[in-house]
Amino acid sequence: MSLAEEAIAGFRNEPILELRRASARDSLVTALRELDERLPLSVPVLIGGDRGAAEGIDSTDPGLPGRLVARAGRAGEDDAAAAVEAAARGFRDWGARPAAERAEVLRGAAARLRELRLLLAALQVRECAKPWPEADADVCEAIDFLEYYARAAIELDSGRSLVQAPGERNRMRYAPRGVAAVIAPWNFPLAIPCGMTAAALAAGNAAVLKPAEQSPGSAGVLVDALHEAGVPHDALALVPGYGEAGAALVRDPRVHVIAFTGSSAVGLEIVRTAAETPSDQSHVKRVVSEMGGKNCVIVDSDADLDEAVPAIVHSAFTYAGQKCSAAARVLVHQAAADRLVERLAGAVSVLTVGQADSFATEVPPVIEREAQERVLRYREQAADRLAASAEPVPDEGWFAPPSLVVGLPEDSPVNREEIFGPLLSVTRVRDVDEAMDVVDSLPFALTGGLFSRSPATVERVAARTPVGNLYVNRGITGAMVGRQPFGGNRRSGSGSKAGGPDYLLQFVEPRVVTENTMRHGIPVE
């Protein structure tokens, strides 16, 4: 095993907190109390070491909208341009550093996040109403990305083996592309921006991070940790803002790579814009995107419902269904449909809906009023097919009742469109083949699930399903870095899988050097 392979082999996922232990819960409650005393956090625009404005965006608690969590600067088109200009300067130094040196900086940032772990989990509880288990897992995933990509950078630096012929030497190496624009979502406010930014930096690029306007506080802590660990200020900028800042980054001809996670509508617009190559742009932009999903779980007639029911409920309603991998539909064999619907209805009706800071909460509020209105609008479309709902929900905050609907027509928007909320639809199918036909008809292909006792059925579904991540006899959320590289196909994404061995390849360009080793005389100086 080479040194590079040993580096990857040494990776281990960060252990999550055992929240069944009172000491772990007490430590988180203490961290939340200390955080509340510091609110609101101040998140300035950070460009080349200059701290700009820290006003224009207010991040509030979805469970208590009157609570101000962070006040951030509102970067505009001029700020985005200045950030790219600084990053282009910073790239020259950062990209020239040895991969091992860059890796050490990223591992230093991972160590800093470990120190801030409890604070960061508490911040997600407040800023995004993320329940404690999900908030802690998010911090762990951010640490995992830093550690994994640091090791992957060393492996990538070793190049690839090529065929060698007599009289020549062939070498292949990977060089960073330049400036990476990172446009991040709010639902994983630390892990996803950390993963995309860490990958860009590990490969030797400079990065400009534009976080979601709903979660600038988490992004601010992340960027501070990376700077403290040794990432030069010119090589990493923070531009909190709304859509105009992200759009300006996408258009900028000095940007080489765009790493995006978010909705399909925005992602497809980024792909269209990035495909343009104005005369002052010397390269074709690379777009690395992870977009939406309409994730289906297939339940065969022989499925173990004791296993399927809790896994489906957890996949659909944890964090109020606000994961791109969350279960949105169940396609159940008609022979098992009645039993499954009865048990799902019972499980959904007793879900605990409440504030994210309660350890008992299973379903928190959605992120904002617009999201609440969207979920309720889809729920109203399926009101006559409502099989179960956990009600009442709290009056204060952006709560939407977790709901189960059954038997909608296939062309219903509830069955075809991404809702991104706590609404699960169940459809009876004749057999697994019909279920696969439904999955194949959808424009999305992110995650999927299968519950079956038949190895032949498992192999058949795995061979046909177009999804990027298929989970068999388990929940369909919670991909782990290094173990389940994550990313979708079709309109669910482009590029390789986050947290996997190929991800850094999207941030570099291959270069081959072929040298004639047959010497013709000796040079005279």
316: tokens are 């659909």
Cα–Cα distances (Å) from 400 to 262, 319, 364, 372, 420, in that order, read 21, 12, 9, 6, 11
One DSSP character per residue, 368-417 reads SHHHHHHHHHHHHHTGGGEEEE-----SSSS----EEEE---TT-HHHHS
DSSP-derived 3-state class of residue 289: strand
Residue 525's pLDDT is 65
First to last CA, the chain: 43
Catalytic residues: 290, 324
Is residue 187 within 8 Å of residue 137, measured between CB atoms?
no
- pLDDT tens over the chain, length 525 residues: 554 456 567 899 999 999 999 999 999 999 999 999 999 999 999 999 888 988 999 999 999 999 999 999 999 999 999 999 999 999 999 999 999 999 999 999 999 999 999 999 999 999 999 999 999 999 999 999 999 999 999 999 999 999 999 999 999 999 999 999 999 999 999 999 999 999 999 999 999 999 999 999 999 999 999 999 999 999 999 999 999 999 999 999 999 999 999 999 999 999 999 999 999 999 999 999 999 899 999 999 999 999 999 999 999 999 999 999 999 999 999 999 999 999 999 999 999 999 999 999 999 999 999 999 999 999 999 999 999 999 999 999 999 999 999 999 999 999 999 999 999 999 999 999 999 999 999 999 999 999 999 999 999 999 999 999 999 999 999 999 999 999 999 999 987 899 999 999 999 999 999 999 987 666 666
Report the alpha-carbon distance of residue 156 to residue 149 in Å, rounded.
Answer: 10
Contact in structure between 281 and 273 (CB atoms under 8 Å): no
Amino acid identity of 391? Answer: E
Question: Is-contact 436 284, C-beta < 8 A?
Answer: no
- DSSP string covering 113-170, please? HHHTHHHHHHHHHHHH---HHHHHHHHHHHHHHHHHHHHHHHHHHT-B-----TTEEE
What's the 3-state SS for 263-281? CHHHHHHHHHHHCCCCCCC
Angle between helices 216-229 and 99-115 (to 10 degrees): 130
Q: How far apart are CA 255 and CA 507, in angstroms?
A: 12
Peptide bond into 65 cis (omega under 30): no
The residue whose two tokens read 């992870």 is: 290
Q: Which two three-digit tokens encode residue 187?
A: 């639902």
Provide CB contacts within 8 A for 38, sequence distance 6+. none
Q: Enter the DSSP assignment of 319.
A: G
pLDDT of residue 3: 47
Helices and strands in the chain: count of H runs, count of E runs: 16, 22
Token pair, residue 57, equals: 């965006």
- Residue 471 corresponds to which tokens in the numbers above? 């989970």
Give the residue from 312, 289, 257 showing the smallest Cα distance to 451.
312
State how far the alpha carbon of 359 is from the alpha carbons of 86, 228, 323, 355, 495, in Å: 44, 33, 20, 9, 37
* Strand pairing class (286-290; 493-494): antiparallel
Q: Is the peptide bond before 40 cis (omega within 30 degrees of 0)?
A: yes
Rounded Cα gap, residues 379 and 371, in angstroms: 12
pLDDT for position 9: 74
List of residues 6+ apart from 510 with CB closer than 8 A:
172, 173, 174
- Measure the CA–CA gap between 7 and 154, rounded to whole angstroms: 8
Strand order in the sheet with 50-51: 50-51, 46-47, 236-238, 206-210, 179-183, 255-261, 286-290, 493-494
- Give pLDDT, residue 523: 67
* CA angle 228–198–93, rounded 5-degree value: 65
